[in-house]
Amino acid sequence: MRDLNYQLKQLGDKNRDGSRATQAKRAYLLSQIANQLHEMGYRGMSARSLKPKHVHALVARWQDEGIAAGTIKNRMAAIRWWAHKVDREAAVAAGNDYYGIASRRLVSRFSKARYLSKGQLARITDPHVRLSLELQRAFGLRREEALKFQPRYADRGDKLVLRPSWTKGGKAREIPVRTRAQRIVLARAWRLVGNGSLIPPERSFVQHLRVYVRQIMNAGLSKMHGLRHAYAQRRYFELTGWRCPHAGGPSCKHQSAEQRRIDRAARLTISWELGHEREQVVAVYIGR
């Protein structure tokens, strides 16, 4: 392991800021950043070697690669955390505007829905990770929710009940079980883990999250959050009878008064099922 990668790992091990999921995500981002710095010719760096030129080089690379503004902002947050821990705050500008990082769009112009074929799932060799992906696809679960899933607790027949400790913000919620395909996925979860969890007993959550990330990368997959987008778009069609704007359906301004009433009710339902408090956030998934 290179010095920078090792020192950033040690920095994370000594500073347990945030939830375990936050820690794991930050560790992954910092490892990725260290690798990219090495690829760009910044060799022999230590954690305290961070300079403004490194940050500028990284941002320029990400912008050239067309990385989404929200993703770049997440990476910048990890860099600022790194800079703060080694007393190098001056290496990073306080605001993202300084680097020309665009504002995050509340409503994206394009669909971010992702779909999984049988062939793609077959590339996932870990059965627990594969089942978590199926749950993400079938119920629109977030990654952490799908990894921590316990069928004995969650499966209530006609609905899923998610523990607060699984969810973003610690907010329990319910998701209806509506289709035969969903019941098949739940039956597979019961067979795989019984009364246990989709995190194997020999792994911690952080260890299993690393397995998940590695499996996704090795399978050539990415942006699995897009499975939630696909779920939202399917639900919109079920609830309204027409496709959402991101799937080619009419935008709100082209809907009749009755359609707008149905559209509003559908968005509220989808917002609750996805674990959001604001109906407006659903526009990210299905368009406006």
pLDDT at 107: 60
User: Can you tell me the distance from the alpha carbon of 196 to that of 199, in angstroms, rounded to the nearest whole number?
Assistant: 8
Token pair of 149 as six digits: 């899933």
Structure-token match 């149905």, residue found: 262
pLDDT at 188: 98
User: Can you tell me the distance from the alpha carbon of 28 to that of 56, in angstroms, rounded to the nearest whole number?
Assistant: 20
Side chain identity at residue 185, one-letter code: V
pLDDT at 238: 97
Q: Are 48 and 236 in contact (CB under 8 A)?
A: no
User: DSSP states of 20-54 as a string?
Assistant: HHHHHHHHHHHHHHHHHHHHTT--S--GGG--HHH
Model pTM score: 0.68
Please name every residue paired with 173 in a beta bridge, in sequence order, or none if there are none: 162
pLDDT along the chain (288 residues), means of 10: 91 91 92 92 93 91 80 94 96 90 66 92 97 98 95 98 90 95 98 97 90 90 90 97 95 94 96 88 91
Quickly list H helices, the chain.
Answer: 3-14, 20-39, 52-64, 69-85, 118-122, 127-139, 143-147, 151-154, 180-193, 205-218, 226-240, 257-274, 283-286
**Annotated domain spans of the chain:** 3-99, 124-220, 227-286
pLDDT at 108: 63
